[in-house]
Amino acid sequence: MKPVLVVGAGPTGLVMALVLARRGVPVHIIDAKEGPAEESRAMGVHARTLEFYRQFGFAEAVVDRGMAAKEIRFRARDRDGARFSLRVMGAGLSPYPYMLTFPQDQHERFLLDRLADLGVAVDWGATLEDFVDRGEEVEAVIRSGASIQRSVYAYIIGCDGAHSRVLEVLGIGFPGGSSEQMFYVADAMVAGAAHDVLYLGLSGDGLALMMPVRTTGSYRIFGLVPPGVGAQQSIGWADVGDHSESLLGFSVGQVNWFSTYHVHHRVAERFRSGRVFIAGDAGHIHSPAGGQGMKTGIGDAVNLSWKIADVMHERADSGLLDTYERERLPFARFLVATTDRAFRVLVDDGRIARAARVHLVPRIVSTVMRFSLSRRLFFKTFSQTRISYRRCSFNQGKAGALRGGDRLPWISTDQGDNFAALQTMSWQLHNYGRPANGVAEAADQLGLPVHRFPWSDAAHRAGVQRDASYLVRPDGYVALALGPTDSSDELTRFVELRHLDVSEPHAPSS
């Protein structure tokens, strides 16, 4: 079996390589850097990412290393405002009803260790120079120091960031733009702030966000450089510190790191060309609003990696790979458009936007958080547990509130939860109540593992239909929803038309 080349060893590339290796696919992962990142760019690890990590068997280890932010507190016009519990918003929706702060440098080192457990090491200081897709394989030219090597791969996956060499060689367009405003980010010591709270300060001339980084009292502070300051050639904390402290209501002590940047928003025109794919920042970059960047890249990695593995192990034909772009590109476009709109409201320097920041945003947030339905919608959107692939024709059926393409909802009872079964990352059938006539037999003929769960109030609240069955993909999304009156032949027909092998695979590496 030819290996898969993963270009880029950030979170997206590391998760891509990790899933491929767990599923028995040889993988070569390279990165042009000389070693792991020392700075921590992204901070937030949200519920959907932790759900994926539970499938990999290490969610709790990540939670233990991070800090759970359980509350959001707002401050506007130098006065403390509303506060909202993330745990209340996410209660019953995920086993991880919070945002975890886990610095990216630590996050990447953790993933590197998990990859090493599988016998895979990153080839640091190795640069992809060129490649040619020959139809049955891809020939790549890789430079490492003074040496140049030509190697053949089954697929190449570009996880090499916003300046992707893979994207450049493919010649795929990457349209978008950049913000005029300048932003700053700092790691600093802050006395008196809680270690499990996100702070957001708003005013007519700016905003600042502060989140805990480590238990030592260090915090990550993001903010908009105040008007007038951005015109300076060199900007330091001294230029923005007073403004930031006023917005947040805290005195900042020692500043350990400070940087400025501009925000970009772009989406690649395609995510695939033949045997070459792109994922993460190589395919989409957007504003930091909501902290969606890293987890979107990890979502790309999970979506693509199991499909490549199944195709390479001849458990599916190559048509399955078409669904990667059909499922992830529309979401990337939606995400960039929505975060960009929200971001403009938060940072625009116009009179209307300035007034909205101070008066409208706090009121909207207070109103939204007052109602259970809107709180749950906010959490689902923020955590990416709301992502659905309904529009991709690969996924079919409807039973209860669930359609093919939806994330399998988390259902927890005194006897346990349904997500425990997902740790095999295999095709499986879930039934809630009693399976319809012939469904269990059809699953048995396909070699499909079946997990039966008693009907419960929790299942009803999650939108599951009583006695319905759901064919669940290795990534935890519903491929086929079968109501209790649907024919069992639909299960067999679904699998056969898509040329899938849904039988129990060999146990994955751990």
Q: Percentage of residues in the chain with pLDDT exceeding 70?
A: 92
Over residues 26-35, the pLDDT tens digits come to: 999 999 999 9
Q: Does 291 score more than 70 pLDDT?
A: no
Predicted confidence at residue 509, as pLDDT, reads 47
* pLDDT score recorded for residue 352: 64
pLDDT (0 to 100) of residue 13: 99
Give percent above pLDDT 90 in the chain: 70
The least confident of 176-190, 239-253, 438-452, 469-483 is 176-190
171, 164 Cβ separation under 8 angstroms: no
Q: What is the pLDDT of residue 231?
A: 64
User: Is residue 160 scored above 80 in pLDDT?
Assistant: yes
Distance in angstroms (rounded) separating the CA atoms of residues 176 and 22:
36
Task: Find where tokens 């499922």 sit.
Answer: 327
For range 173-183, the mean pLDDT? 86
Mean pLDDT of 341-348: 66
Question: What one-character-per-residue DSSP string does 2-54 give?
Answer: PPEEEE--SHHHHHHHHHHHHTT--EEEEESSSSS-SS----EE-HHHHHHHH
**Does 369 score more than 90 pLDDT?**
no
- pLDDT score recorded for residue 478: 99
pLDDT for position 221: 94
List, in order of start, the domains of the chain with CATH numbers: 4-65+102-177+265-343 (3.50.50.60), 67-101+182-261+354-370 (3.30.9.10), 396-497 (3.40.30.120)
- Tens of pLDDT along 417-457? 999 999 999 999 999 999 888 999 999 999 999 999 999 99
Buried b (16+ CB within 10 A) or exposed e, 361-378: bbeebeeebeeeeebbeb
Asked if the model's pLDDT at residue 415 lies above 50, the reply is yes
44 confidence band (pLDDT: 50, 70, 90): confident
109-124 pLDDT, tens digit each = 999 999 999 999 999 9
Q: Which residue has the higher pLDDT, 122 or 263?
A: 122
**Coil, helix or strand at residue 74:** strand
pTM, 2 dp: 0.94
For Cα atoms 61, 67, 73, give the angle at the middle one, nearest 5 degrees: 150
Ranges of H-type helices in 81-191: 86-90, 104-117, 165-170
pLDDT for res 353:
64
Residue 341 has pLDDT above 80, yes or no: no
* 79 against 315, higher pLDDT: 315
Task: Answer yes or no: are the C-beta atoms of 229 and 247 closer than 8 Å.
Answer: no
Residue in 227, 261, 225 with CA at minimum distance from that of residue 351: 227
Average pLDDT of the chain to the nearest whole number: 91
Contact criterion met (CB below 8 Å) for 23 and 171: no
